[in-house]
Structures are given as C-alpha cells and as structure tokens.
Amino acid sequence: MPARRARRASASSKDESTMSRPDTTRPHTLAEETGEKQSDGRDSDDTLFVASLAKGLKVLECFEGGKARLSLTEIDARANIGKSAAQRAVHTLFKLGYLGRDESAKRYRLSPKLLSLISSYSFGQDLLEAGLPEMKRCHEETGETVNITERDGTEMVCIARIPGRHAVTIYIGVGWRVPAFATGPGLVALAHEPPDAARRLLEASDRVAYTKQTVTDVEALIRWLTEIRSDGYVIADQLLNEGEYSLAAPIFDSEQKYVASFNISLPVSRWSLHDLRGKMVPLVTETARRITANLAR
C-alpha cells in the first residue's frame, strides 16, 4: 500500500523555532505502522530505495520463462508498473543496449550485453570454482545431467549445469528457477534452514501439485525435511516432472553452513529406486562432500 503523506501545516512566523524541528504530527499510514512492504518490494520507510531502477528491473524480469520477444503492450501487462513507466523503462534499457528491438515486428528482446553481467557473476565465484571439477567427474562417470543450485526465496536457481549424454524431454538451463518445495535441491535447502524459517518458506510457497507425487501439505513436508537433514540426501521421485528422479545432497562452506545443493537428474525409464540407492546415493553425497572440501581450501 503506497504511503500517502499528509500535507504539512505551514509554520507560524511568530514561532520560527518550530520550522527547524522534525514534523512529528504527520499521521502514520497502516503500511508504516505494520512495516508492510510497498507493491514494488520496498519497506514503507526505505528512503534509499530507487523506484525507477526497480521498475527497469521488472521490465527485464518480464523475459523470464522462455519469452524471447515481447511487445510494449505485453511488457506493460507483465511488469504491472503502468504504461508510461513501462515505456520509459523500455526506452532507457534499449538506449543503454540491454534490450534489442525487432523494427518490423515492434518487439523487444534481451540483448547480448546482459551476458557480460552473467559472466561477471560467474567469474571468481568460489562455489563454481570448487564445484565444476567435481561436477565434470560425476558427469563423466554417469553420463547424466548434473546441477548446482542456490536458494533464492521460495525458489531454487540453477547456477551451473552439465547436460547428460542422453536425450531428455525436460530442459532446465542456467538461471532457470524451480520451486524449492517440489525439487530435490530445494528440499535439501529447506532441510538446512531453522525449522521456523523452513515453515515460513513453505507457507509462502505456491504449493501446486505438479504431478501425482508432489507433496503439498506443510506438515508432511516438515516431517520429510527432518528425515532429509538426518539422511544427508533426498531422492525426489517425480515431484516436479513426470518420469524424472532428482537426487540431491547439500554443499557446505568452511563453517559447515549450507550454501547450495548438488543434484543429478535421472530418468525413471533407465533407473530404479533400488539402483539409485545402491549406486547413485554414494556418488552424489561424495561429490557434494568433495565440493564442500574444495570450498574449505
């Protein structure tokens, strides 16, 4: 709810001292009293928040989910920042080179300039430097798809991926987001949160039943998280996609704090749960342990 400021009463010339004092009589809005966030994500009293920058980033976020080209009308509808603000943000991003434009179709797309930001993120990342050699080792041994993901709120973001040698029907690339509660890496991440924090994250999640196997009940998930933390791994049996297992284990930093998840994606058509437990669980947990050891060096 945007804070609506009351108009300040003019100061009396007979009492000039009051002009230098802060105005303590202005009524507080509900958002200020409750600490409610504004619709653009800021706290109601956050004076450092740059709303115009946030609107520009919202425009870039419109291209998530495989939408390669969007018209200004589509961007306006997706960003929900107002037509005028959307038009100004798009124009600015285009002039700065972060958006390209198809002149004939009047549609916009992300430009290659954004790749420089992505490479800046990847360069010098301790987690990636520690993880990539072990990912390659696991991939070479199994031929299956391996990933490292980090939690961002109620979602997991893929930060490194080596595709398997076999054809797959499901593609997830670097930067893609998946719900934490319905994925192996996400369940591992939630299992290493304090119980109260894990519960809040689960309650805040959009717990959609993606498949018949998806667990959506918070209490059932909380019990499962306890088991996962004790076991040190999880086998997610077709929670997000039919026909896919996701076997995940935690990666820790030098202080043994959870930082990310390592997982391997396996097709149900080629693997049984029995073989997963006998062959893949030791390999995945050992790979995660090696990445953890590399981070500590």
CATH number for the domain harbouring residue 36: 1.10.10.10
Decide if 5 is inside a domain: no
How far apart are the C-alpha atoms of 134 and 240, rounded to whole Å?
26
What tens digit of pLDDT does each residue of 67-84 get? 688 999 999 999 999 999
Contact 183, 156 (CB under 8 A): yes
Q: Residue 132: name the closest of 162, 157, 176 by CA.
A: 162
Between 91 and 4, the higher pLDDT residue: 91
Same domain, 164 and 278: yes
Residue type for 179, please? P
Query: Angle at Cα 104 formed by Cα 100 and Cα 107, nearest 5°?
Result: 45
6 Cβ contact partners less than 8 Å away, ≥ 6 residues apart:
26, 27
Residues 137 and 236 in one domain: yes
100 lies in the same domain as 224: no
Query: 131 with 294: CB under 8 angstroms?
Result: yes
Residues 93 and 146 in one domain: no
Residue at 7 is within a domain:
no
Give the residue numbers spanning the domain of 88: 26-110
Residues with Cβ within 8 Å of residue 85, at least 6 apart in sequence:
52, 55
- Report the pLDDT averaged over residues 60-69: 80
pLDDT tens-digit readout, 105-134 = 789 999 988 877 777 666 657 899 999 999
Q: Are 291 and 251 in contact (CB under 8 A)?
A: yes
Q: Do residues 198 and 102 share a domain?
A: no
User: How far apart (Å, rounded) are the C-alpha atoms in residues 58 and 213?
Assistant: 33
Q: Are residues 190 and 280 in the same domain?
A: yes
Residue 174: predicted pLDDT: 83
| The predicted structure's pLDDT at residue 125 | 79
Query: Of the candidates 110, 134, 158, which is a domain's last residue?
Result: 110
pLDDT higher than threshold 70 for residue 36: no
> Domain tally for the chain?
2
The residue-averaged pLDDT of 258-285 equals: 95
Question: Considering 110, 132, 163, which residue would you say is the last residue of a domain?
Answer: 110
132 with 106, same domain? no
Q: How confident is the model at residue 63 (pLDDT cuts 50, 70, 90)?
A: confident
Question: Do 219 and 164 share a structural domain?
Answer: yes
Please calculate the CA angle 31-37-43 and round it to the nearest 5 degrees.
95
Does residue 17 fall inside a structural domain?
no
CB 245 within 8 A of CB 238: yes
Domain end, chosen from 83, 110, 137, is at 110
Any domain includes 16: no
Output the domain CATH number for residue 262: 3.30.450.40
Average pLDDT across the chain, whole number = 84
pLDDT band at 167 (very low <50, low <70, confident <90, very high): low
Residues 179 and 274 in one domain: yes
Query: Is residue 2 pLDDT above 60, yes or no?
Result: no
Q: Is the same domain home to 146 and 65?
A: no
CA dihedral in degrees (56, 59, 60, 62; nearest 10)?
160
Residue 2 lies inside a defined structural domain of this protein: no
What's the pLDDT score for residue 169?
Answer: 56
Nearest-Å Rg of the Cα atoms of the chain is 24
Domain membership of residue 9 (yes or no) is no
For the chain, strand residue ranges (E) read: 70-71, 99-102, 107-110, 145-152, 155-162, 177-179, 234-237, 244-252, 258-267
Distances (CA, A) of 31 to 5, 23, 25, 83: 12, 19, 17, 25
The verdict on residue 230 lying in a domain is: yes
In a domain, 204, yes or no: yes
Distance from chain centroid for Cα 86: 23
Domain identity same for 128 and 104: no
| Widest pairwise Cα distance in the chain | 87
Same domain, 97 and 133: no
H-state helical runs in 143-280 = 184-191, 195-204, 218-231, 273-275
